[in-house]
Amino acid sequence: MSAILEATDRLLAGPSPAAGSESLAAHNVRLGPMPRVGADLIGTLERSGLLGRGGAGFPVGSKWRSVAERRSGPAVVVANGAEGEPHSSKDRKLMAARPHLVVDGALLAADAVGADELIVYVGADHRAAVAAMGRAIAERASTARVPIRLVEAPVAYISGESSAVVNFINTDDARPTAGPHPRDRGVSGRATLVQNVESLAHAALIARHGEDWYRSAGRGPTSGTALVTISGAIAIPGVYEIDYGTTLGEIVAGAGGATSDIQAVLLGGYFGGWAAVDDLRDLSLDPAMLADRGLSFGCGVIGLLPVERCGVWATSKILDYMAGESARQCGPCIFGLGAIAETTRRVAAGSAAPGDMDNLARWSRQIVGRGACHHPDGAAGLLQGALSVFASEFDLHQQDRRCSRPAATAQGVR
């Protein structure tokens, strides 16, 4: 990736990802053989403060501990590389470049929680990742203590949601369920740990180097490094590894600079939200510091919205996408999110009806927590942030029924 960005290379240390996936031999030479740590790794992870990288940021050690303690009989580990968030590509790039690091982490997890089966769950369309993980699994099959298999999942926004992952593995239906939590009853009815592939890769390094080593990176309250995907009005879009606490300005510079003046940033993906940007240096990409400002690090998506585009249209397109991606199982998501998307589209197009803005505010409050999964919550959060960040633009669209940007550029290509 970029040499300009001052970062502690950890996951992406080693040969350039452009050279393809690191072989098992090279992996073992560079990092040494995978250590045998067992359940002790759980305590190490808890002390390291490693947070999950799937978007929710849940502490990884606690998650492993709850599966290890609650299970009766052997558990199952699923390495979740579904990556349904459209602007995120870090998981598939990681799997394509460092498949053995991911497999290490997954095997260590299986050992730690007492699993006798390991499943690697990858989006079927992500061919490079599928190929790399497939080869890696074949290379490890003879020495791994548990059987490993690859499951190719349909690529959809919610296909990475834990209950959807388990449901697809069990029944070929990639929709979330309302039943017991995977950690209690998951794959084949057994306690299941569903863990993001980047989290597993970090765990694999922590198993080798320890919690103090992990905590030595990071500039602010949150320790460690993370993969981010930067897209939008940026010169060199792609996946970068950063220390937590790096400012947005540094990341943008490290990615070749913005191609235009930036009015807002989409942080954390569609499940995150918009952040108004007056000064790029102001925004410190540390999950705790972002949370204090009501923002979310999420899955590390950084989408730069240039001033030429209209924030209302950008929000409308995202909401249309999220409404389309609904699993169509729960009324509040089907009708509530559907109405939100349709109304926002009307407002964007300059055909706002009286009461539309009040409806948007009411509906986005109403749908939160009323679906079987958190899909409607994400959309509601995105809209609420947009109403704040693009307040004046929404006013213009709703009251004057016009857009401040020329039509073609307002909507943009993405």
The residue ranges that bind another protein (CB under 8 A) are 56, 86, 156, 177-178, 273, 291-292, 294-296, 320-321, 323-326, 328-332, 334-339, 341, 357-358, 360-361, 363, 365-366, 368-372, 374, 377, 381, 384-385, 387-388, 391-392, 394-395, 398-399
Minimum separation from the CB atom of position 10 to another protein (A): 26
Which is closer to another protein, CB of 69 or CB of 292?
Answer: 292
Long-range (24+ apart) CB contacts under 8 A made by 9-15 are 9/241, 10/202, 10/205, 10/217, 10/225, 10/241, 11/94, 11/98, 11/101, 11/198, 11/201, 11/202, 11/205, 11/225, 11/227, 11/241, 12/97, 12/98, 12/227, 12/241, 14/98
Cα 125 from Cα 139, distance rounded (Å): 22
Minimum separation from the CB atom of position 342 to another protein (A): 8
Which is closer to another protein, CB of 48 or CB of 343?
Answer: 343
Minimum separation from the CB atom of position 145 to another protein (A): 34
Which is closer to another protein, CB of 12 or CB of 327?
Answer: 327
Minimum separation from the CB atom of position 276 to another protein (A): 12
| DSSP-derived secondary structure letter, 55 | S
- Does the CA dihedral 64-211-224-96 come out positive or negative? negative
Question: Burial code of 336-365, b = ≥16 C-beta within 10 A, e = fewer?
Answer: bbbebbebbbbbbbeebeeebbeebeebbe
Kindly report the backbone phi and psi dihedral angles of residue 255, in degrees, each rounded to the nearest multiple of 5, phi listed first: -100, 25
Query: What phi-psi label fits residue 293: left (phi over 0), alpha (psi between -120 and 50 degrees) or beta?
Result: alpha
Which is closer to another protein, CB of 29 or CB of 178?
Answer: 178
Which is closer to another protein, CB of 146 or CB of 396?
Answer: 396
Which is closer to another protein, CB of 246 or CB of 296?
Answer: 296
- Tell me which H or E stretch contains 92: helix 90-97
Which is closer to another protein, CB of 16 or CB of 172?
Answer: 172
Which is closer to another protein, CB of 38 or CB of 294?
Answer: 294
Interacting residues of 212 by C-beta distance below 8 A, sequence separation 6+ = none
Minimum separation from the CB atom of position 316 to another protein (A): 11
Minimum separation from the CB atom of position 393 to another protein (A): 10
Q: Which two tokens stand for residue 282?
A: 């102001």
Minimum separation from the CB atom of position 194 to another protein (A): 15
Minimum separation from the CB atom of position 329 to another protein (A): 5
On whether the CB atoms of residues 8 and 243 are closer than 8 A, the answer is yes
